[in-house]
């Protein structure tokens, strides 16, 4: 479980008051959930996701990851946490163009210091995202949706506990976006991974177990599926 307690994030602005991008955000991300951060452009989604993923630290407040306040970690400890427990997926697919699909996933597994059989794991992950037959292709030979599936395989390969995805469907058409959401739901259900994603697309909200809505850096609404609303007296 990941929990934030009263997170603020101020960015310095030359010659003026600092800009407050996050205002007193307290949220809970249960294990095995697909949690969405929703809001318009500039509402603070990426800032919050980067803090949750230990890429950035808040100006105030706490981030509790598995019982530990990660805002207190050194850069080195934070790096280790990311490498071992976290996977990232970004809006623009960032595959390495001169490597095959297989090599892209294998390369990232190498960087993460994976101890098991890398070849087996790469093949397993590419099969899981339905690209078992495309392993020797170059990224540019695949569609946008297929490339994003490679990015998903790459993000899950080292068996992270949590995946953070920043607008992973922003550059995909509606049908492809929905198939990526379906894949995320399957990963949560079958692999027990927790996925946190941002989106400004209101058409995808139904896929989420929990949807936190941000506006101007503040949390303005929460929607939870029944299974995640138990014992909290709040459900939609
Ligand atoms: N490094 C930064 N320095 C200054 N302002 C920033 C920085 N990062 C984000 N912001 C500002 O914080 C606000 C929220 O940004 P962001 O989290 O990227 O929003 P979103 O992802 O919802 O579009 C925006 O107004 C943005 O300009
Ligand atoms: Mg953003």
Tell me the pLDDT tens digit for each residue of 180-216.
899 999 999 998 999 999 999 888 878 899 999 999 9
Q: Is residue 153 part of a domain?
A: yes
**Does the Cβ of 19 fall within 6 Å of ligand 1?**
yes
Mutate to test the pocket of ligand 1, among 13, 23, 42 (most ligand atoms within 8 A of CB): 42
Has residue 233 got a pLDDT over 60? Answer: no
- Of all atoms in ligand 1, which is nearest to the CA of residue 39? 22
Q: What is the mean pLDDT of the chain?
A: 92
User: Containing domain of residue 189, as a range?
Assistant: 32-54+75-223
Domain count, the chain: 1
Looking from the CA of residue 44, the nearest atom of ligand 1 is: 17
Range scoring the smallest mean pLDDT among 53-62, 168-177, 211-220: 168-177
Atom of ligand 1 nearest to the CA of 50: 17
pLDDT for res 232? 57
144 phi/psi in degrees, rounded to 5: -55, -45
Q: How confident is the model at residue 112 (pLDDT cuts 50, 70, 90)?
A: confident
Question: Near ion ligand 2, which residues have CB within 5 Å?
Answer: 45-46
Q: 44 CB under 6 A from ligand 1?
A: yes
In a domain, 41, yes or no: yes
Residue 81 has pLDDT above 60, yes or no: yes
Among 4-13, 144-153, 214-223, the least confident range: 144-153
Model pLDDT, residue 196: 98
* Ligand 1, atom 18: closest residue by C-alpha: 46
Q: Is the pLDDT assigned to residue 93 strictly greater than 90? A: no
Cα 32 from Cα 54, distance rounded (Å)? 19
Residue 25's Cα: distance from chain center in Å?
18
Q: Do the domain assignments include residue 106?
A: yes
Does residue 1 belong to any structural domain of this protein? Answer: no
Residue 68 belongs to a domain: no
CATH number (domain holding residue 163): 3.40.50.300
What's the mean pLDDT in 158-171? 93
Asked whether 60 and 7 are in contact (CB, 8 A), the reply is: yes
Specify if 200 maps to a domain.
yes
Per-residue pLDDT for 5 more than 90? yes
Share above pLDDT 90 across residues of the chain, in percent, rounded to a whole number: 79
């Amino acid at each position: 479980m990941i929990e934030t307690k009263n997170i603020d994030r101020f960015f310095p602005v030359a010659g003026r008051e600092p800009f407050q991008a996050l205002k007193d955000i307290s949220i809970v991300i249960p294990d095995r959930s697909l949690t969405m951060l929703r809001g318009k452009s500039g509402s603070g989604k990426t800032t919050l996701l980067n803090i949750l993923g230990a890429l950035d630290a808040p100006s105030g407040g706490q981030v509790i990851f598995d019982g530990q306040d990660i805002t207190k970690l050194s850069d080195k400890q934070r790096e280790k946490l990311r490498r071992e427990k976290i996977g990232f997926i970004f809006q623009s697919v960032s595959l390495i163009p001169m490597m095959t699909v297989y090599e892209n996933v294998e390369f990232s597994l190498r960087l993460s210091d994976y101890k098991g059989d890398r070849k087996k794991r790469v093949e397993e992950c590419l099969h899981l995202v339905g690209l078992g037959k495309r392993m020797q292709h170059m990224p540019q030979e695949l569609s946008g949706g297929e490339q994003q599936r490679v990015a998903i395989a790459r993000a899950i390969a080292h068996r992270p506990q949590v995946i953070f995805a920043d607008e992973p469907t922003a550059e995909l058409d509606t049908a492809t976006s929905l198939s990526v959401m379906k894949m995320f739901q399957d990963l949560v259900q079958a692999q027990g991974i927790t996925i946190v994603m941002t989106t400004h697309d209101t058409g995808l909200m139904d896929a989420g177990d929990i949807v936190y809505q941000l506006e101007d850096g503040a949390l303005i609404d929460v929607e939870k599926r029944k299974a995640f609303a138990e014992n909290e007296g709040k459900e939609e």
